[in-house]
A = this chain, B = another copy of it.
């Protein structure tokens, strides 16, 4: 039977973690091996919920941090087992996010005496529907397991800190007209033509860039769907433009809706979906020290995260959280997913520095 050796070579450990298939819903084999590896460390209390494994120190330190990562990947695309080539580790999961999992697993076992209490969280079902998300399940079933002052989520961020995330809102701008036979078009009112003004405002819209806790968040507002008309001989009486607004974490959901209502003044607007962003929380002392450690080891300054990630789940608990892990997020989920080996080792070094200084 395979075992994982968190005390040995880090790249070998990363490859071993990636080479165990763990597509969402099928994480048990990897979760079992992670649990077994963690149980070899006497300084850790190990807990399990489904395929989520939690290990924590109980050193009585004045502050506690969480380091979390998901065990599941998107489906394999003939890109396993991993291969090492010219300093890159190729294969499913190397970026999203088993590189970050390997780094955490190594440090969890190796750091017997960290300067902060640490809760290491490995969870399931991140790549699928939100209601299955393993971290979300722990929030509901064992919120005490996640108690901390600051959290690091090992999502790929090119080995630098990507803080917080933008919020997201979807809304429908609904246009109305009067149907008529298109042979007598002048009897009707064309709802699709009315959408021209909506698209005009979107085209003219200049997205803001907003500084939050020292990071600059770039917003965006886009039409993502448009649909109108019933038949090719009928003047359409209905057209819907669905917009997606990504807003800085300094704006709440109500503020985002207000902004859209002002922009589309005069049109019917219905919000269909919204999730708040997450502030980076880099003004928190533990976060600031982490940022200094990363800067010292990798030379990288914190940057904003644009995509919505599970850091928002910590944010919703009032816990500042950042993304920090090896790999370029633009290569996640791709068939040619690959991670620079030096980002795996520098991520390890930066976390180690932070947790031991």
Q: Residues on A close to B: CB < 8 A?
A: 166, 168, 170, 181-186, 190, 192-193, 195-196, 199-200, 202-203, 207, 218, 220-229, 231-236, 239, 241-242, 244, 246, 273, 306-308
Contact = CB atoms under 8 A, between A and B. Distances in A.
Q: Give the top 5 A-B pairs by smallest Cβ distance, nearest first.
A: A196-B199, A225-B229, A185-B220, A192-B223, A183-B307
Contacts of A242: 229, 232
Contacts of A246: 182-183, 185
A199 B192 contact: yes
A224 B192 CA distance: 7
Contacts of A203: 193, 196
Given A193-B203, A199-B193, A203-B196, A182 B224 contact: yes
Contacts of A225: 192, 228-229, 232, 236
Contacts of A202: 190, 193, 196
A232 B241 CA distance: 11
Nearest to A234: B224
Contacts of A229: 223-226, 242
Contacts of A181: 307
Contacts of A207: 185
A192 B226 contact: yes
B220 A236 contact: no
Nearest to A184: B306
B193 A196 contact: no
A200 B196 contact: yes
Which one of A220, A224, A233 has the highest number of Cβ atoms from chain B below 10 Å of its Cβ? Answer: A224
B195 A308 contact: no
Given A182-B246, A223-B229, 7 more contacts: A181-B307, A183-B307, A185-B246, A196-B196, A224-B229, A225-B229, A225-B236
Contact of A226 (B183, B226, B306): B226
A101 to B, nearest CB: 23
B220 A186 contact: yes
Contacts of A224: 182, 192, 229, 231-236
A244 B236 contact: no
A239 B226 contact: yes
A186 B273 contact: no
6 contacts: A182-B246, A185-B221, A192-B226, A193-B203, A193-B223, A226-B239
Contacts of A186: 218, 220
A256 to B, nearest CB: 14
B222 A182 contact: yes
Contacts of A231: 224
A78 to B, nearest CB: 23
Nearest to A221: B185
Contact of A222 (B170, B193, B223, B241): B193
A181 B241 CA distance: 18
A334 B183 CA distance: 17
Contacts of A182: 168, 220, 222, 224, 244, 246
B223 A190 contact: yes
